[in-house]
């Protein structure tokens, strides 16, 4: 079973969090699901360096990356993912979607309205719990 390690950003502006929708994929269990943006850690990168690079590539932003929030290990049908999520502060809600098909800024109590990728759900639940 393939294992991948990724980083994800919980981007906050005022009292809202950015939710990004994945593009259509041949993997139906992640296709068009919402996620916290981020991606794979490349060889030699720290988690924060990887997240900074991914956020520039995906959204053209440079947020303040704060503390590690939650690490999730999730088993998808084709691979296992270890996702390290970080709380991040962004001073504007302006993002450029280079890879995602849509995005929305929501308050914590609105997050469950979306169809999230399974690995992101524990992060959503912890955010709501911590409110």
Rounded-to-integer distance, Cα 5 and Cα 84, Å: 8
Which domains occur in the chain, in start order? 2-129 (3.90.79.10)
Provide the pLDDT for residue 93.
97
Q: At a CB cut-off of 8 Å and minimum separation 6, what does 23 contact?
A: 31, 32, 99, 100, 101
Q: Is 118 helix (H, G, I), strand (E, B) or coil?
A: helix
Per-residue pLDDT tens listing for the chain (131 residues)? 899 999 999 999 999 999 999 999 999 999 999 999 999 999 999 999 999 999 999 999 999 999 999 999 999 999 999 999 999 999 999 999 999 999 999 999 999 999 999 999 999 999 999 97
The two tokens of residue 100 are 């995602």
């Amino acid at each position: 079973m393939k294992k991948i390690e990724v980083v994800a950003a919980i981007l906050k502006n005022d009292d809202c969090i950015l939710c990004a929708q994945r593009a259509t994929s041949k993997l139906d269990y992640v296709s068009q699901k919402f996620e916290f943006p981020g991606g794979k850690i490349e060889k030699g990168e720290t988690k924060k360096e990887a997240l900074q690079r991914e956020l520039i590539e995906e959204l053209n932003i440079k947020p303040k990356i704060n503390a590690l929030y939650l690490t999730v290990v999730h088993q998808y049908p084709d691979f296992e993912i270890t996702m390290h999520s970080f709380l991040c502060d962004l001073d504007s809600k302006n993002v450029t979607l280079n890879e995602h098909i849509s995005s929305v800024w929501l308050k914590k109590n609105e997050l469950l309205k979306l169809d999230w990728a399974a690995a992101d759900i524990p992060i959503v639940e912890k955010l709501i719990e911590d409110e």
